[in-house]
């Protein structure tokens, strides 16, 4: 199995993440046609045209979220200048971590925690996340507006962004598109 990373040349900060995800060899540089021809060849040549593929997008860090993560990292910095973060529990992506570290003048080192596959996800630690899960538990499948109304909040954009984050980390299920997006809980989720 191969993991292909498409990194825009003008996003130099992303290249710092390449060693962590195993992107140690550049396969192509140039136009889309050159990149696609190289990908097709590496993925199995003409036979690859018959396979189904999925393409995933790693979202660029949101400024508001980066500020929130930076505050959390600053609070956890020990006197020796180190902070240990559970990326899964804090729902932090590698791109967000790299952006925050660069902004705080820190370097990133990784420690792997090996655990048995499956099992329950780490408990939610943020108050808003717990409130959102509880709202969905009460409402069932709901829109962002319905969740905001249930919580008595007018911060619909904040709630939408947080629900999208919870969906990205598979803590909630997001279905539909645009104005028809609805959120619900997976059957096995417990806060």
Six-digit token string for 183: 């959120």
Per-residue DSSP letter, 119: S
* 65-76 pLDDT tens trace: 899 899 989 988
How far CA 94 is from CA of 3, 47, 100, 133, 176, in Å, comes to: 16, 33, 10, 24, 27
Q: Are 108 and 183 in contact (CB under 8 A)?
A: no
* 153-185 pLDDT tens trace: 888 888 998 999 899 888 999 998 888 899 999
Q: What is the mean pLDDT of the chain?
A: 82
User: In the beta sheet, which residues pair with residue 174?
Assistant: 183
What pTM does this model have?
0.66
Six-digit token string for 48: 């690859």
């Amino acid at each position: 199995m191969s993991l292909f990373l498409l990194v825009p040349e003008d996003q130099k900060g992303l290249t710092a993440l390449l060693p962590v995800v195993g992107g140690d060899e550049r396969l192509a540089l140039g136009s889309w046609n050159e990149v696609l021809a190289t990908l097709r060849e590496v993925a199995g040549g003409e036979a690859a045209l018959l396979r189904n593929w999925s393409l995933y997008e790693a979202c660029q860090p949101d400024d508001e979220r980066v500020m929130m993560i930076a505050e959390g990292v600053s609070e956890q910095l020990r006197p020796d200048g180190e902070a240990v973060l559970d990326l899964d529990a804090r729902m932090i992506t590698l791109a967000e971590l790299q952006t925050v570290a660069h902004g705080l003048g820190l370097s990133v080192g990784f420690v792997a925690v090996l655990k048995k596959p499956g099992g329950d996800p780490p408990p939610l630690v943020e108050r808003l996340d717990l409130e959102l899960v509880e709202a969905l538990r009460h409402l069932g499948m709901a829109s962002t507006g319905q969740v905001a109304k249930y919580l008595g909040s007018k911060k619909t954009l904040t709630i939408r962004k947080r629900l999208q984050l919870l969906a990205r980390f598979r803590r909630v299920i997001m279905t539909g598109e645009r104005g028809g997006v609805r959120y619900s809980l997976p059957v096995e989720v417990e806060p």
